[in-house]
Each structure stands twice: as C-alpha cells, then as structure tokens.
C-alpha cells in the first residue's frame, strides 16, 4: 500500500533520480522496468512449475497436520471428560484394596489365633503322652505354661477346663515319680527324679529326705 511506501529511503532516492532524468531516459527506464517485471513473472512461474510437487506435498502435509491436530484435540476433550470417572474409579480401587488388606490381616490373625487355640486345646493330651513316655521335663514345661495361661485367661471357661485337666495330670505325674523313687533305681536316675519333685514343689527338701530316702533304703 501507499502507506507502506512512504518513508522508504530507497524509493525516495529512486524518485529523486527519476526527477533528474530526461524524457528519453524516462522512456528507457519504463521499458527496463517492464522487462524486469516480465522476467520476475517468468521466474516466479518457472519456480512454481518446477516445485509444484513440493507445494502440493506441503499443502497436503498441512492439511494432514491440521486434521491430526483436530483429532488430538477431540481425544483430549474425551480424556478430560472421562477424568472425573477415572478419579472415582481410582478412589474405589484404593478403598477396595484397603478393605482387602484389612480382610487379609484379619484372616492372618484368625489363622494364628486358631493355631494357638489348637495348641491350648491339645495341652492335656500332649502332657498325658509326655508322662506316659517318661518325658517329665517336657511335661513340667507344659504344666508351667498351663499355669501361666490360667493366670491370664482364667476367666474363659474352656481355659479353666484345660488348666484343671493339666492339674490332674500333674498330680498323676507326681504319684508316678514318687512310685519310681521307691523302686530300685540307679543313683543318677534317682537324683533326676528328686530334681523333678523339687521343681514341682510338692515336698520340701526335708520331707523328701525323711519320707522317700528311707523307703529306698528298705
């Protein structure tokens, strides 16, 4: 536009130069400009012809990029619209996972508790077998465990019943040890039985010495 041409130093210099030209020079300049314009037009046409495939490819690529951009924008809109549902599902998943972990923890505690309960229920049977097989050391440990159990869980009826059964077996073991002490035993075995009786605290040392040693001498 004319506004863009105003204040152009090159144009001002060119116009000043034309102002000094004669008529013949102006005609030649007009011819030169026309020839130069024709040359530029031909060069532009040649450039367009020789590079038309590039122009077409560029245009096609531009359309393809624009289409991909629109598609990406649509997919982004779809994703954004689904984000609230995804957030809800994530929260639900976290809640379900927490509940599952809690259930697993409770199951583990239940299994552990059941195993411990089974051990407690088998105490009388296990102690009876130890006494029958002469494993008095283990029998004493089981009796001590039952005593501690009764002190802490004696308010539970089943525990009370188990403790009473173990106490009855404890007395059975006491009678059995006393009976063995009165038999013909080697000294090491006799001392071992005396050690068991002392741990059972059924008799004092004097009572053991006065009551059972004479029986062995007899």
Considering only 2-11, 20-29, 98-107, 172-181, which range has the smallest mean pLDDT?
2-11
Whole-number Å distance between alpha carbons of 52 and 58: 10
Give percent above pLDDT 90 in the chain. 15
pLDDT tens per residue across span 158-184: 888 998 999 999 999 999 998 887 787
Instruction: Give the DSSP H/E element, type plus range, for residue 182.
Output: none
What are the structural domain ranges in the chain?
2-50, 123-217
For range 204-210, the mean pLDDT: 75
Q: How confident is the model at residue 207 (pLDDT cuts 50, 70, 90)?
A: confident
pLDDT tens per residue across span 86-109: 778 888 888 887 887 777 776 666
Whole-number Å distance between alpha carbons of 100 and 113: 20
Provide the pLDDT for residue 90: 81
Provide the pLDDT for residue 115: 57
More confident residue, 192 or 59: 192
Note the pTM of the prediction, 2 decimals. 0.47
Place of tokens 């927490």: 98
Provide the pLDDT for residue 7: 62
- Report whether pLDDT(186) > 70: yes
Mean pLDDT taken over the chain:
79
Q: How confident is the model at residue 85 (pLDDT cuts 50, 70, 90)?
A: confident
More confident residue, 191 or 210: 191
Burial level of 140, CB count in 10 A (0-12/13-18/19+)? middle
For range 45-53, the mean pLDDT: 76
More confident residue, 58 or 126: 126
More confident residue, 108 or 65: 65
How many CA atoms, within 13 angstroms, populate the side-chain half-sphere of residue 81? 6
Spatial CA neighbour of 170 closest among 199, 143, 194, 205: 143
Token reading at 196:
């068991």
């Amino acid at each position: 536009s004319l506004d863009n041409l105003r204040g152009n130093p090159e144009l001002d210099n060119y116009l000043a130069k034309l102002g000094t030209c004669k008529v013949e020079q102006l005609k030649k300049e007009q011819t030169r400009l026309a020839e130069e314009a024709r040359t530029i037009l031909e060069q532009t046409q040649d450039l367009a012809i020789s590079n038309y495939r590039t122009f077409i490819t560029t245009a096609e690529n531009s359309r393809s990029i624009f289409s991909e951009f629109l598609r990406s924008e649509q997919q982004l809109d779809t994703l954004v619209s689904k984000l609230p549902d995804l957030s809800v599902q994530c929260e639900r998943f976290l809640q379900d996972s927490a509940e599952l972990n809690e259930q697993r923890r409770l199951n583990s505690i239940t299994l552990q508790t059941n195993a411990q309960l089974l051990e407690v229920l088998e105490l009388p049977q296990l102690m009876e077998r130890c006494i029958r097989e002469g494993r008095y050391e283990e029998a004493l440990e089981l009796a001590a465990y039952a005593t501690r159990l009764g002190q802490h869980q004696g308010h539970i009826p089943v525990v009370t019943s188990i403790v009473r059964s173990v106490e009855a077996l404890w007395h059975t073991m006491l009678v059995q040890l006393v009976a063995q002490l009165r038999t013909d035993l080697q000294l090491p075995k006799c001392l071992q039985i005396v050690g068991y009786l002392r741990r059972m605290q059924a008799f004092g040392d004097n009572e053991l010495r006065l009551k059972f040693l004479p029986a062995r001498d007899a």
